[in-house]
Structure 1
Amino acid sequence: MIGGPALAGDALTAFFARDAEEVARSLLGCRFMVGMVGGLIVETEAYFPDDAASHSFRGPSKRNAAMFGEPGNVYVYHIYGMHWCVNFVCRPGSAVLIRALEPEQGIAEMAERRKLDALPALCSGPGKLCQALGIDLTLNDRKLDCPPYALFKGAAPVATMVGPRIGITKNADAPMRFGVAGSRYLSKPFPKTSVSIP
């Protein structure tokens, strides 16, 4: 069920101590677990310190402090006063937003938290994903090899779609959204103009 080996210690740091775009692509096909609940990462977005859409653009603050932590750190934040979002820190000030997950384990618990049974809709967006996995601010600013978190490498590279990010107004055209080609668990379909990478 879990697939590849867990990323921990030096291996976890090395995986994330890279350019956020590279990490965002590499995360597709990895398995993200929070306790006994989780699944396959199918959609990500990359953000950088010099990116006007990034929370790190204006430098460190109390809210984004975790984003300036070590590679492999977790940054959780609140949006619209109702949704949590989870990001994995790469180089300091850069991070990858986890946008969608293919549920694989703890599906009944996810469904109870989300109050629905439609499998493709359980984790098809960053807020939905956090609700399904039980992620909130209490799980902010800790490493991905620190329970309840665990991240497992994917078994093989996946065909990837690349397109503009969603739900932002600044630097919105940057092609920094990545998704598993053909997945029915994405938050939204990729535009027809999106690029497919083997």
Structure 2
Amino acid sequence: MTGGGDHGPSAPSVADEFFDRPVLAVARDLLGATVRHGPVAVRITEVEAYAGLDDPASHAARGPTPRAAVMFGPPGRAYVYFIYGTHWCLNLVCEPAGSAAAVLIRAGAVIDGLETARARAPRLADRDLARGPGRLARALGIDGTLTGCPVTGDGPLVVEPAADGPAGPVLVGPRVGVRAAHDRPWRFWLADNPTVSAWRGPGRRPAVP
């Protein structure tokens, strides 16, 4: 992890085509990628996939409601929602427009802007600053104003690819905190990474989606 303050030039953002693919492939490939907002950057270590209309656990399962409408739009956009009345969650829309698939960014490691992230959660250890979807959004300073924001250009929210793919073995298991379709193994995380959220559940090495 590095300290806060100004950072150097950003790496190129992922291309639109990166997100215009099946959600399980995008989810796995996001491990090791970096999401950047303002001075803070987080390297992604844990994600969950949601498959839109065919996934009863997805916000899109009931169609394009006002909250979930952005999920039905073009890929490579942020879908940010408020949960439990306490925190925001960042999702990245993928697959062709109308599919309403998205990947929830569950956890990561702060690799830039550490002082800013610490100031936003002064009681947390560094490894916990983005450990869980709510903490990750707080560390990055993300809120609902970013819903619909493209993440593949030079806007305020940018996803940067992992140069060599995930750093280490990838595990897969059930999604966290969902009742419908709870047995689908659509949660991916980096094995033995201390920034992955505390509930890990049974895991196995996945086949490549």
Under a length normalisation based on structure 2, what TM-score does the superposition of the two structures give? 0.87
Counterpart for residue 55 of structure 2: 51
1:42 aligns with 2:84: no
1:120 to 127, 134, 138: 127
Instruction: Determine the C-alpha separation between the residues in 1 that align with 2:9 and 2:107.
Output: 18
Q: CA RMSD in A?
A: 1.9
Counterpart for residue 115 of structure 2: 108
Q: Return 63-72 or 24-33, whichever deviates more.
A: 63-72
Instruction: Determine the C-alpha separation between the residues in 2 that align with 1:97 and 1:117.
Output: 22
Counterpart for residue 68 of structure 1: 72
1:180 aligns with 2:180: no
The C-alpha deviation readout for 1:50-77, integer Å capped at 9, x for no partner, is 1000001011011111111211010000
Counterpart for residue 13 of structure 2: 7
Q: For residue 188 of structure 1, what is the amino acid of its counterpart?
A: A
Alignment size in residue pairs: 194
**Matches of residues 15-164 of structure 1 in structure 2 within 5 Å?**
15-49=18-52, 50-91=54-95, 92-144=99-151, 145-158=153-166, 159-164=169-174
Under a length normalisation based on structure 1, what TM-score does the superposition of the two structures give? 0.92
Note if contact 1:71-1:89 (Cα within 8 Å) is conserved in structure 2.
yes
- How far apart are residue 117 of structure 1 and its match? 4.3
The C-alpha deviation readout for 1:136-184, integer Å capped at 9, x for no partner, is 0111111002521111110212220100000111111110000011210
Residue segments in structure 2 that go unaligned for 5+ positions in a row: 3-7
Q: For residue 194 of structure 1, what is the amino acid of its counterpart?
A: G
Runs of 4+ in 1 over 6 A off after TM superposition: 1-4
Pair 16,3 (structure 1): closer, same or farther in 2 beyond 3 Å? farther
Q: For residue 78 of structure 1, what is the amino acid of its counterpart?
A: F
Instruction: Determine the C-alpha separation between the residues in 1 that align with 2:124 and 2:195.
Output: 14
Instruction: Determine the C-alpha separation between the residues in 2 that align with 1:111 and 1:58.
Output: 38
State the SS of the aligned residue for 2:108. Answer: strand
Instruction: Determine the C-alpha separation between the residues in 2 that align with 1:69 and 1:90.
Output: 9
Instruction: Determine the C-alpha separation between the residues in 1 that align with 2:198 and 2:78.
Output: 24
Counterpart for residue 195 of structure 1: 204
Note if contact 1:86-1:126 (Cα within 8 Å) is conserved in structure 2.
yes
Instruction: Determine the C-alpha separation between the residues in 2 that align with 1:170 and 1:6.
Output: 37
